[in-house]
């Protein structure tokens, strides 16, 4: 499988996870910043390899073979992110682009040894689940911080937005995975939140709260 084919599979997998439905050609083109005609050509190739189900004008979905292949790419990406953060001291906003390159390494033996070396982690540095060698994923119960009510407390378990800008913002506010976040007050006008994190009070926008996953505690 080529790098390009792997990138398409991973994109379709992510969109399927987000939308929980068949994915349109335009959605893939938008996420990959390419032309719809290029997407159509690639989908035909992937369909010939039995990696996707594709019919013109009806969207696309992954076959079981395609879903497992996509999960293995995601597995490699997220394991490398863990390695870069835990073993090479990269910060969580630096690792995505490097892992994008490392995820195309073909050696299954290397990835399984990497998994064991890291202690078989179930989540990457952003709180996203890591598929195991069989493609199984341990899901955790989580919700967006914006869905909590006043006086409720949650522990940060992930981020919806993994952009470098957002992660750097969280670093400035000293919000990280494992941080306990209490809702002190909720503004009815713009749904901004006054929160308490690590003993410090601050105000965050609804946009910020809508990009933070928490587990109720």
pLDDT digits (tens, 9 = 90+) for 131-145: 999 999 988 889 999
Residue 21 phi, psi (nearest 5)? -160, 180
Q: Which of 19, 46, 62 is the last residue of a domain?
A: 62
Residue 28 lies in a domain: yes
How open is the CA angle 75-154-146, to the nearest 5 degrees? Answer: 90
pLDDT of residue 185: 96
Residue 16 lies in a domain: yes
Residue 50 lies in a domain: yes
Count structural domains, the chain. 2
pLDDT of residue 20: 66
Residue 184 lies in a domain: yes
Q: Which pLDDT tens digits describe the chain residue by residue (217 residues)? A: 899 999 999 999 999 887 767 899 999 999 999 999 999 999 999 999 999 999 887 889 999 999 999 999 999 999 999 999 999 999 999 999 999 999 999 999 999 999 999 999 999 999 999 999 999 998 888 999 999 999 999 999 999 998 999 999 999 999 999 999 999 999 999 999 999 998 899 999 999 999 999 999 8
Residue ranges making up the domain that contains 196: 143-216
Report whether 177 contacts 125 (CB < 8 A): yes
pLDDT of residue 21: 73
pLDDT of residue 198: 83
How many residues comprise the chain?
217
Report whether 115 contacts 82 (CB < 8 A): no
pLDDT of residue 59: 86
Residue 79 lies in a domain: no
Residue 25 lies in a domain: yes
pLDDT of residue 17: 82
Residue 80 lies in a domain: no
pLDDT of residue 217: 86
Q: Which of 12, 27, 62 is the last residue of a domain?
A: 62
d(CA 192, CA 61): 37
Report whether 158 contacts 126 (CB < 8 A): yes
Q: Which of 15, 39, 62 is the last residue of a domain?
A: 62
Which CATH number do you get for residue 49? 1.10.10.10
d(CA 76, CA 157): 20
- Residue 163 CB neighbour total at 10 angstroms: 12
Which CATH number do you get for residue 168? 2.30.30.90
Residue 106 lies in a domain: no
- pLDDT tens digits, one per residue of 41-72: 999 999 999 999 998 878 899 999 999 999 99
Per DSSP bridges, beta strands 193-197 and 200-204 are: antiparallel
pTM for the model: 0.85
């Amino acid at each position: 499988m080529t790098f390009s084919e792997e990138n398409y599979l991973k994109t379709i997998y992510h969109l399927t996870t987000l939308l929980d439905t068949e994915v349109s050609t335009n959605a893939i083109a938008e996420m990959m910043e390419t032309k719809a005609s290029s997407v159509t050509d690639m989908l035909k190739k992937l369909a010939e390899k039995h990696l996707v189900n594709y019919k013109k004008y009806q969207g696309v979905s992954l076959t079981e073979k395609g879903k497992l292949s996509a999960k293995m790419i995601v597995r490699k990406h997220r394991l490398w992110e863990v390695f870069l953060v835990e073993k090479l001291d990269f910060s969580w906003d630096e690792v995505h682009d490097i892992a994008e390159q490392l995820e195309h390494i073909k050696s299954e033996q290397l990835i399984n040894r990497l998994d064991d070396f890291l202690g078989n982690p179930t989540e990457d540095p952003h709180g996203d689940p890591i598929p195991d060698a069989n493609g199984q994923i341990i899901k955790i119960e989580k919700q967006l911080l914006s869905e909590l009510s006043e006086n409720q407390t949650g522990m940060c378990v992930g981020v919806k937005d993994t952009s470098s800008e957002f992660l750097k913002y969280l670093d400035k506010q000293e919000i990280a995975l494992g941080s306990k976040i209490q809702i002190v007050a909720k503004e009815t006008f713009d749904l901004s939140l006054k929160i308490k994190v690590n003993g410090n009070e601050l105000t965050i926008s609804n946009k910020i709260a809508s990009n933070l996953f928490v587990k109720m505690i």
